Structure 1
Amino acid sequence: MTAISFKNALGIHPDALRVRTERSEILANNIANSDTPGFKARDLDFKGILRGEYESRDRMELNRTNARHIPAEAVVTESSLKYRIPTQPAVDGNTVETDIEQAQYARNSLEFQSSFTFLNSKFKGLSKALRSE
């Protein structure tokens, strides 16, 4: 019997879920500060994170109480956050464009749901395979 490789079975989707969760917090923060003078909208370089362009970042590993636990660590760092360039800068220096932020938030939510649905179907398939169905 061969061991199941979760990395091979699940691909990039677990990492994508973590990054999408962090991105939703950043986009929500942008929206919440849309009326704050001088606030600069930020976003993640999602593709750069998934390509591993920020591998030299400091990592924060979570404690594992058993050697068989799957290791987990923080994915997002300050270097992966980029300032958004506004199409219509505000007079007060705020760079949040609410329509763009809301659209990005909605798109991020859909992409999160897509990865989640994919992972859910993979886990159902793996569960069936383990039960030999």
Structure 2
Amino acid sequence: MAISFDKAFGILPQSLQIRAQNAEVISANIANADTPGYKAKGMDFKAALAQAASKQQAGMTRTHEKHLDVRTEMNNSVDFRIPNQPDTGDGNTVDVQMERNLYLENSLHYQASIRFLDSKIKGLRKAITGGKG
């Protein structure tokens, strides 16, 4: 009986990919905190995950380098963030404290997902080896 990794892991690998992309978006905001006119961007994680789930249910998996790349399609969930602070005069909308908090929160979710994936892998390993090793 073959093991279906798609069924075993579910949406978890896509979730990790979206979290990694979200970290890049937040990092770009922090890096451009002093850039005049820079507009902070944000990612709608729920929308990106829903989009990934619908693609997974539709059976769209990238099995060849020339197939669709889901990561580029997830960019639809990245948009400009509505500023929480008034304009400081240079047109920059990055709130560094908020970005750091978002980065920390995203990192915690990423680490939790990694641990969950690790437990899934250990469970599969146990099922394959019959509980040995």
1:43 aligned to 2:42? Answer: yes
Q: CA separation of 1:97/1:79 partners in 2, compared to 1, >3 Å: closer, same or farther?
A: same
Taking every aligned residue pair, what percent have the same amino acid on both sides? Answer: 43
Q: Of the candidates 67, 80, 83, which is equivalent to residue 80 of structure 2?
A: 83
Quote how far apart the aligned CAs of 1:126 are. 0.3
Quote how far apart the aligned CAs of 1:105 are. 0.2
Q: What corresponds to 1:126 in structure 2?
A: 124
1:31 aligned to 2:30? Answer: yes
| Counterpart AA for 2:76 | S
Quote how far apart the aligned CAs of 1:62 are. 6.6
User: Is 14-23 or 77-86 further displaced after alignment?
Assistant: 77-86
* RMSD between superposed Cα atoms in Å: 2.4
Quote how far apart the aligned CAs of 1:74 are. 3.3
Distance in 1 separating the partners of 2:68 and 2:38: 32
SS in 2 for 1:52: helix
Normalising by structure 1, we get a TM-score of 0.81
Q: What corresponds to 1:7 in structure 2?
A: 6
Quote how far apart the aligned CAs of 1:94 are. 0.5
C-alpha distance after superposition, 1:63-87 (max 9, x if no partner): 46xxxxxx99432443221111111
Q: CA separation of 1:8/1:72 partners in 2, compared to 1, >3 Å: closer, same or farther?
A: farther
Distance in 2 separating the partners of 1:127 and 1:49: 30
Normalising by structure 2, we get a TM-score of 0.81
Distance in 2 separating the partners of 1:23 and 1:92: 25
1:54-93 aligned at under 5 Å gives the runs 61=62, 63=64, 73-77=69-73, 78-90=75-87, 91-93=89-91
SS in 2 for 1:75: helix
- Runs (5+) with no aligned partner, structure 2: none
Distance in 2 separating the partners of 1:125 and 1:38: 50
Whose helix proportion is higher, 1 or 2?
A: 2
| Counterpart AA for 2:121 | F
SS in 2 for 1:4: coil
Number of aligned pairs? 122
